[in-house]
Amino acid sequence: MQVPSPSMREAASMYGTAVAVFLVILVAALQGSGPPESPFPYRIPLDPEGTLELSWNVSYAHETVYFQLLVRELKAGVLFGMSDRGEMENADLAVLWTNGDRAYFADAWSDQKGQVHLDAQQDYQLLQAQRTPQGLSLLFRRPFSTCDPRDYLIEDGTVHLVYGILEQPFSSLEAINTSGLRTGLQRVQLLKPNISIPALPADVRTMEVRAPDVLIPGQETTYWCYMTELPPDFPRHHIVMYEPIVTVGNEALVHHMEVFQCAAGFQSFPHFSGPCDSKMKPERLNYCRHVLAAWALGAKAFYYPEEAGLAFGGAGSSRFLRLEVHYHNPRKIQGRRDSSGIRLYYTATLRRFDAGIMELGLVYTPVMAIPPQEAAFVLTGYCTDKCTQLALPPSGIHIFASQLHTHLTGRKVVTVLARDGRERAIVNRDDHYSPHFQEIRMLKKIVSVHPGDVLITSCTYNTEDRELATVGGFGILEEMCVNYVHYYPQTQLELCKSAVDAGFLRKYFHLVNSFNSEEVCTCPQASVPQQFASVPWNSFSRSVLQALYGFAPLDMHCNKSSAVRFQGEWDRQPLPKIVSQLQAPAPRCPASQGLSPAGPTVANISGGQG
């Protein structure tokens, strides 16, 4: 890259004329190697106007992210950084600013009031700044972990990027408060796995499964069911890729979509297009539960690994498909029409393995509930050793992708594999999970699950804005805790989930009654949601519910595709015992610690050509 020599005077005069173009900034303390030779494969606009565009690359060898921030129409500077959930307070920031005379670059942080402060340790390292025809291009890097307690730890999973635009000069870094700026956030998986996208086969064909001109109901939550079918005599194929088709203008309404294949036992299925909970919906549609494709808000195209594809068509499988579209319409917009769906890419040249999708986590039932006003309440669903013993082949299965799913209060999701009572591997973890960014993510490393293994899926919820308990269920204001894992070779096991035993929950309502003067309605005709709604939430009822979920036996759902359980006793199953937990690795501090500049670097501004 071009590194012109600095010329401060020229720049100062340029600033004086309000041209306000930062041309080339070179940090004196630049040390070590430059960016990797490859370009920046990932790119995302940060703000809705596209003023700020971020490209990045990841060096796993150096545990460092290289950022290239393109700033179009630069004014007096820019803030870029990361925070827990996209807030501008308590954020870890790289700041480029000018006092009208000189320009500076610094690693900074914002306190809980949004006030910006210099970091004691400078870990965002400016490598280069260059004028390009598009705008100022800033190149900088940041280690995953810095050991500076003010810094964000870059981990797998969702990262909430934040930005702010400085419209005029600031006398000092400490004079900046994020509350006065134009700011925003963008969610992204920063640490993309370095897996190359498999090439599509030459004979690839496509098929669209779309809702036929649906009038979206003017209600908050609608699950729309639409039945379609494969052409007659459609032979066995492998789906190798699929991507969403979202009707333009409805991007905020289409929450998630799934394509299910119906059970092979039935000769035909009635046609239907309507709400899934409609009384008009034919009963038989409940036998269409074999997932072919799943998409949710924020996801892009999904590619199968080169050795596997998702089988559909041919003898012994149903020609009938059910598309389910979850419309989330909180503003209850009336009269909107939609034809969203999924485009399947498939090949007749079958790959070595059939792939499958399995649902892990919690059953959709109100017995699993989160008290209101909880900052971080954890619910856990199990896939027990008994179920994997029965349903998995002796050589096991290989999970290659995962999609985490909760509704609005979900904040973290993790699935852990345990064997012989010991946690062995993380299947997928997102400590900054957002229900608004549900991607299907390829795993960095394939996780193999053997018969007798246990899969434990835990979701952390924040219900600080709720007044009543949030129960499990299908509604957007109810909750889910699901990990859709994508794996091969395919098995009959489609769903391996749990919930607390209902009898133990009844005991819970009784004991809450005996400890409180207020009565919980425990009469037989009261529904579980009604009973939860009448619990007086105090430290005792909260702690005991948490203790109950960590102790009471399970109602296991170890199900085949046709909503049929595997044979066996699945009620009152013991909770898996975990005797040793995985330890989070101690963050490695970068070797450069203490050698980076201790304060802001003067960014010498000079004229030059990009």
Question: Which of 511, 521, 526, 563 is close enough to bind a second copy by CB under 8 A?
Answer: 511
Smallest gap from Cβ 422 to a second copy, in A, equals 18
Smallest gap from Cβ 230 to a second copy, in A, equals 50
- If one asks whether residue 550 binds a second copy (CB under 8 A), the answer comes out as yes
- If one asks whether residue 38 binds a second copy (CB under 8 A), the answer comes out as no
Give yes or no: 124 in active site: no
- If one asks whether residue 510 binds a second copy (CB under 8 A), the answer comes out as yes
Residue number, 350 or 378, with CB nearest to a second copy: 378
- If one asks whether residue 28 binds a second copy (CB under 8 A), the answer comes out as no
HSE toward the beta carbon, residue 217, CA cutoff 13 A: 17
Selecting among 117, 223, 436, 450, the annotated active-site residue is 223
Give yes or no: 223 in active site: yes
- If one asks whether residue 504 binds a second copy (CB under 8 A), the answer comes out as yes
- If one asks whether residue 112 binds a second copy (CB under 8 A), the answer comes out as no
Residues of span 137-176 touching a second copy by CB under 8 A: 149
Q: Which stretch binds a second copy (CB under 8 A): 28-36, 51-59, 266-274, 506-514?
A: 506-514
Question: Which of 349, 393, 540, 568 is close enough to bind a second copy by CB under 8 A?
Answer: 540
Phi/psi of residue 404, each to 5°?
A: -90, 145
Question: Which of 548, 563, 578, 582 is close enough to bind a second copy by CB under 8 A?
Answer: 548
Neighbour-count burial for 22-53, b at 16+ CB within 10 Å, e otherwise: bbbbbbeeeeeeebeeeebeeeeebbeeebbb
Cα dihedral 576, 580, 584, 586 in deg (nearest 10): 180
- If one asks whether residue 582 binds a second copy (CB under 8 A), the answer comes out as no
- If one asks whether residue 580 binds a second copy (CB under 8 A), the answer comes out as no
CA dist., res. 554 & res. 452, Å (int): 17
- If one asks whether residue 585 binds a second copy (CB under 8 A), the answer comes out as no
State which amino acid sits at residue 100. Answer: G
Count interface residues toward a second copy (CB under 8 A): 22
CA dist., res. 68 & res. 54, Å (int): 6
Give rounded-to-5 percent helix, strand, coil for the chain. 10, 40, 50
Smallest CA-to-CA distance from 94 within 36, 156, 48, 27 is with 27
- If one asks whether residue 502 binds a second copy (CB under 8 A), the answer comes out as no
What are the beta bridge partners of residue 398?
448, 488
Cα dihedral 116, 118, 122, 127 in deg (nearest 10): 60
Selecting among 237, 256, 405, 407, the annotated active-site residue is 405
In which element (H, E) is residue 76 found?
none
- If one asks whether residue 574 binds a second copy (CB under 8 A), the answer comes out as no
Residue number, 587 or 608, with CB nearest to a second copy: 587
Residue number, 409 or 541, with CB nearest to a second copy: 541
- If one asks whether residue 581 binds a second copy (CB under 8 A), the answer comes out as no
CA dist., res. 427 & res. 447, Å (int): 6
Question: Which of 543, 564, 568, 599 is close enough to bind a second copy by CB under 8 A?
Answer: 543
- If one asks whether residue 426 binds a second copy (CB under 8 A), the answer comes out as no
Smallest CA-to-CA distance from 79 within 204, 176, 201 is with 176
Could you say which DSSP state residue 25 is in? B
> Which pair of structure tokens corresponds to residue 193?
């796995």
Residue 276 CA to chain centroid, in angstroms? Answer: 26
Q: Which stretch binds a second copy (CB under 8 A): 43-51, 436-444, 484-492, 503-511?
A: 503-511
**Do residues 319 and 263 lie in contact, with contact meaning Cβ atoms separated by under 8 Å?**
no
- If one asks whether residue 376 binds a second copy (CB under 8 A), the answer comes out as no
Smallest gap from Cβ 175 to a second copy, in A, equals 24
CA dist., res. 273 & res. 226, Å (int): 4
Residues of span 519-538 touching a second copy by CB under 8 A: 538
CA dist., res. 13 & res. 9, Å (int): 6
Using CB under 8 A as the criterion, what x/- string covers residues 211-230 for binding a second copy?
--------------------
- If one asks whether residue 594 binds a second copy (CB under 8 A), the answer comes out as yes
Could you say which DSSP state residue 319 is in? S
Number of neighbouring beta carbons within 10 Å of residue 589: 15
* End-to-end CA gap in the chain: 10
Question: Which of 215, 551, 572, 581 is close enough to bind a second copy by CB under 8 A?
Answer: 551
What residues are labeled active site? Answer: 223, 405
Binding site for a second copy (CB under 8 A): 149, 504, 507, 510-511, 514-515, 538-540, 542-544, 546-548, 550-552, 586, 593-594
